[in-house]
């Protein structure tokens, strides 16, 4: 463990403190899809992620960073700087229930009365570049090119075949808003998304060389289906034969060693509806270990492509003036194609070849299930799809130009909605502006981190500030050191989330008045943002 910590620290590049800058900084925002909290080395993982580790350890690891429990609601908050219900993603477009259909806030795409970060930065003189997963609308008017990105290559849906064999059928790709009918023969998602962004970064006419850029790189890895190049999978062969229970404990130990997790934190007991690793048959263990090998290969490949982008910026001389934000869009995905996901993915599973030797190929369609997912979300409770910490506490860091390097990790609560106002303030663009791109837009509600980046003792959300959330009927409200949580079963639980981040001790009977106070606060929040509870739970891994 000490050797691991020393090796990671050796990657660190010191950065000066945040201060006033003569030049507007560049911004690179990188999103990984369904990446687990402890999947990268700097957060306790064993997967080879040297490029992400180097960036994370040169900046600030955000151990208290929170997202929505699934992808498109998070992406709406990231780009708009406000609650997902206000932005139009009160639920995912694919999950809109009959009682939510045609209701405000449940459009299933990014509303026109919110401005994107790209639109705001464009008005501030920035070049705006996008490559990857969009998942915020399917029509030409909802394309990233129509929402402020001057250059864009986009997968419009929430998922796809990573080798691109579904182009024109279940997956829609656009460039500059125009639909593509084919992809290169050697297409692989992480490679191509990074390559297109690198191309866009290099397209700089002489008259634009002085302009800063905002680049948004949205990987679809490691979202299912788990697919990777065979050589990448081979690098992890045999690595996970001990199983997900052992991996979970190893990840917890590493988090403590690296200062990510306090020694006294009690981890939540995993919910293994299919049993422990030892309860699986030998064939089940063999298949499950292979699934995790594929997953690790996808994360490894993602990291190498991040390295390609960073080296491009270094070669162009832009890296020293670039602020980098990295995040996962939610907690790890627990869906299992053989159990919880069999009905949901039935059409996609039809005709798939999931034989052991074919797993990870373009004709396979596998996921890795709750055991591996909860190894990645530990010490938190549950996984993607829930308003528990396991569904919403995501791996994230901020690094680069002017961002201070801090030892350990900062555990204060931060929201994905804070990213937009933070970058705008760093750019010198007023986040309070409500006239953007020729239209009146809703105000940003997220909070800038600039004061905290200058002073680690500063608080973004004070003891009296509340923060509400909802998705798929799972609800939460946080104020100070207390968090109210309902994981979709209709039962409110109260936690001291600072001392008990694993959400292991329900304080409802001990603090009934505090519980009722926060329930009332959540009800006010729900009324303010227009929450419409689904008439049936549309998704629960």
Catalytic entry in 66, 135, 160, 162: 135
Is 537 contained in some domain?
no
CB 197 within 8 A of CB 129: yes
CB 338 within 8 A of CB 239: no
- Mean of the per-residue pLDDT values of the chain: 95
Please tell me whether residue 259 adopts helix, strand or coil conformation. Answer: coil
Query: Could you list the residue range(s) of the whole structural domain that residue 206 is in?
Result: 2-529
Is 213 contained in some domain?
yes
Q: Is 66 a catalytic residue?
A: no
Strands 173-175 and 151-155: antiparallel
Q: Give the per-residue pLDDT at 341.
A: 80
Q: Give the per-residue pLDDT at 18.
A: 53
Q: Which residues of the chain have pLDDT under 50?
A: 1-2, 8-17, 19-20
Q: What domain count does the chain have?
A: 1
The alpha carbon of 259 is separated from its chain's Cα centroid by a whole number of angstroms, namely 22
Please tell me whether residue 517 adopts helix, strand or coil conformation. Answer: helix
Is 534 contained in some domain?
no
Who's near 404: CB < 8 A, 6+ residues apart?
15, 16, 17, 18, 59, 60, 453, 456
Is 440 contained in some domain?
yes
Is 288 contained in some domain?
yes
Is 180 contained in some domain?
yes
CB 63 within 8 A of CB 410: yes
Q: Give the per-residue pLDDT at 372.
A: 97
Q: Is 135 a catalytic residue?
A: yes
Q: How far apart are CA 495 and CA 501, in angstroms?
A: 8
Q: Give the per-residue pLDDT at 347.
A: 86
pTM passes above 0.85: yes
CATH of the domain at 311: 3.40.720.10
Strands 439-440 and 474-479: unpaired
Q: Is the peptide bond before 186 cis (omega within 30 degrees of 0)?
A: no
For residue range 167-193, list pLDDT tens digits in order: 999 999 999 999 999 999 999 999 999
Q: Tokens for 183, please give them.
A: 């992809």
Does the CA dihedral 330-334-337-341 come out positive or negative? negative
**φ/ψ bin of 154: left (φ > 0), alpha (ψ from -120 to 50), beta (otherwise):** beta
Q: Tokens for 355, please give them.
A: 């034989």
Is 238 contained in some domain?
yes
Q: Give the per-residue pLDDT at 16.
A: 43
Q: How far apart are CA 333 and CA 330, in angstroms?
A: 8
Catalytic entry in 66, 71, 160, 223: 71
Alpha helices in 11-49 (DSSP H): none
The alpha carbon of 532 is separated from its chain's Cα centroid by a whole number of angstroms, namely 24
Rg of the chain's alpha carbons, rounded to an integer?
22
Is 95 contained in some domain?
yes
Q: Tokens for 278, please give them.
A: 């030892």
Task: Give residue for tokens 């509870």.
Answer: 533
């Amino acid at each position: 463990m000490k050797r691991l910590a020393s090796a990671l620290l050796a990657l660190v590049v010191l950065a000066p403190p945040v201060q006033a800058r003569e030049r507007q900084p560049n911004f690179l925002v990188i999103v990984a899809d369904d990446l687990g909290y402890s999947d990268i080395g700097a957060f306790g993982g064993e997967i080879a992620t040297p490029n992400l580790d180097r960036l994370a350890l040169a900046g600030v690891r955000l151990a208290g960073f929170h997202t929505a429990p699934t992808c498109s609601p998070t992406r709406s908050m990231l780009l708009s700087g406000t609650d997902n219900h206000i932005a139009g993603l009160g639920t995912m477009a694919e999950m809109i229930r009959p009682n939510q259909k045609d209701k405000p806030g449940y459009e299933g795409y990014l509303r026109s009365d919110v401005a994107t970060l790209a639109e705001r930065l464009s008005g501030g003189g920035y070049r705006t570049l996008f490559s990857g997963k969009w998942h915020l609308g399917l029509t030409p008017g909802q394309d990233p090119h129509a929402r402020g990105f001057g250059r864009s290559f986009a997968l419009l849906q929430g998922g796809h075949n990573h080798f691109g064999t579904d182009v024109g059928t279940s997956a829609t790709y656009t460039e500059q808003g125009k639909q593509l009918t084919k992809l290169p023969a050697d297409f692989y998602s992480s490679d191509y998304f990074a390559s297109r962004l690198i191309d866009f970064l290099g397209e700089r006419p002489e008259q634009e060389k002085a302009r800063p850029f905002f680049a948004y790189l949205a990987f679809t890895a490691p979202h299912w289906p788990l697919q990777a190049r065979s050589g990448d999978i081979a690098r992890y062969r045999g690595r996970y034969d001990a199983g997900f229970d052992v991996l979970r404990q190893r990840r917890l130990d590493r988090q403590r060693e690296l200062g990510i997790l306090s020694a006294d934190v009690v981890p939540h007991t995993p919910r293994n509806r299919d049993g422990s690793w030892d309860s699986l048959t030998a064939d089940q263990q063999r298949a499950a270990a292979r699934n995790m090998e594929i997953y690790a290969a996808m994360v490894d490949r993602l990291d190498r492509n991040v390295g390609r982008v960073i080296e491009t910026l270094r070669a162009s001389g832009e890296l020293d003036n670039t602020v980098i934000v990295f995040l996962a869009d939610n907690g790890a995905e627990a869906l299992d194609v053989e159990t919880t996901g069999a009905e949901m993915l039935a059409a996609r599973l039809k005709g798939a070849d999931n034989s052991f030797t074919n797993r990870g190929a373009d004709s396979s369609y596998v996921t890795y299930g709750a055991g591996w997912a909860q190894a990645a979300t530990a010490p938190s409770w549950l996984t993607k799809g829930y308003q528990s910490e396991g569904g919403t506490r995501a791996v994230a860091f901020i690094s680069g130009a002017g961002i201070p390097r801090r030892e350990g990790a900062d555990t204060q609560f931060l929201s994905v909605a804070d990213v937009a106002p933070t970058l705008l303030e760093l750019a010198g663009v007023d986040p309070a502006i409500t006239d953007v791109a020729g239209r009146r837009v809703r105000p940003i509600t997220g909070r800038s981190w600039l004061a905290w980046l200058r002073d680690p003792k500063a608080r973004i959300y004070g003891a009296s500030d509340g923060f509400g959330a909802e998705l798929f009927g799972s609800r939460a409200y946080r104020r100070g050191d207390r968090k109210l949580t309902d994981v979709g079963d209709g039962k409110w639980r109260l936690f001291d989330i600072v001392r008990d981040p694993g959400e292991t001790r329900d304080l409802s009977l001990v603090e009934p008045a505090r519980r009722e106070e926060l329930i009332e606060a959540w009800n006010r929040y729900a009324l303010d943002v227009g929450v419409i509870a689904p008439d049936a739970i549309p998704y629960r891994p």
